[in-house]
Structure formats: C-alpha cells, structure tokens
Amino acid sequence: MASLLLNILPKRVFDFSNTLVGEEQIVTLAERVDISQYCGGITIVRTHAADLSGGSILVQTVADGYTQDDPTASFQFASGNFSLPVSISSEDVSTVPVVQASGSLGGTGLGGQYAAVVLTASRTDPAPLIATLSVDLLLRNFDEIDESTSTALPKRCGCQRRK
C-alpha cells in the first residue's frame, strides 16, 4: 500500500476576532479519517495569510474513537502517544506564506481505526485573530519506511513490516 496525502482543508479564511478574550473556539476540520492501514503520519499546515496578534491557533490530528455502536457520540482526544500538533502564533508567521508540519514517518504517533483533525483558536488579546489556512495529512505505512528512521512499532498499529 502506498502513502496517502489527504487534503483535509482547502485554502480557507478563519476569523476568530469575535471570540471573547480568554476563550477558545474548537472547529473539527475532519473526522472519521480511516488510518487503520497506516502507522506514520504528518499534519501539514500552510498559512497563506495571517494576523494573529490576538492569540494563537493549534491544528492537530487526534484519535477519533468513532464507533457504529454509538454513532452520535464524539470520542476525540489528544494524548501524548497520539497527537500531531501544529501551533501557529504571530512569531511563527512573521513572513507568510509558511508551511509547518508535525509528526513522524518513523512509525510512531498513529494507532487505532480513525483520526480527526481539529483546529483550536485561543484568544488572548482583543486584537485580530485571522488566518488563511490549508491543511493536509500525509499517511505512510511500514512498507515505505526506511529501517534507519523507524524506532519502534506502535503497540496498536495494524501494520506489519515485511521481511
């Protein structure tokens, strides 16, 4: 199976300037992304334009515990073992466009059946909090990962190395 590049979010403007100072706003960009056949992944965020003087934005791929037994429940969470976060602040985007990535092609970080990609805007100042973003998710399996870059197999990963 080959690697997979998923376009999670085409270029889009986010304006969180009406969010109250001290509050967060969470936007689910994608849910139920099937990652069952992949063991490594990278969250790729492109910032095309931004005025982040009013706070920061975090885009992360998190575990999605969706189950057909309870399809209306949301079981999204980020843990130390499963989170591919990209933090965007005014220091990170002093010159745009900027491409930021987080993750591992070495086989750590992904596990389970599904993932979700979530954006969290944190408002810390009454100044503007506006960003034009696009998001991709690169998924890889062990057939394509070089032995020298792979440190350990994730315990919950369904992929197996071929000998």
Q: If you average pLDDT over residues 120-137, what whole number do you get?
A: 94
CATH number where 108 lies: 2.60.120
Residue 162 lies in a domain: no
Evaluate whether residue 110 is within a structural domain: yes
Per the structure, the complete domain to which residue 134 belongs is given by 4-144
Q: Decide: 85 and 44 in contact? Cβ < 8 Å.
A: no
Please say if the pLDDT value at position 155 is more than 60: no
User: Residue 161 domain-assigned?
Assistant: no
How many angstroms separate the CA atoms of 36 and 161, rounded?
A: 15
pLDDT at 161 over 50: no
Instruction: Give the model's confidence band at 148: pLDDT under 50 very low, under 70 low, under 90 confident, else very high.
Output: very low
> According to the model, what pLDDT value does residue 163 have?
41
- Inside any domain, residue 153: no
Q: What is the pTM of this model?
A: 0.77
Task: Decide if 10 is inside a domain.
Answer: yes
Decide if 158 is inside a domain: no
Domain membership of residue 22 (yes or no) is: yes
Q: What is the mean pLDDT of residues 17-39?
A: 90
Confidence at 144, pLDDT banded by 50, 70, 90 = low
How many domains are there within the chain? 1
Asked if residue 26 belongs to a domain, the reply is yes
Are 31 and 76 spatial neighbours (Cβ–Cβ below 8 Å)? yes
Distances (CA, A) of 106 to 50, 55, 154: 32, 32, 10
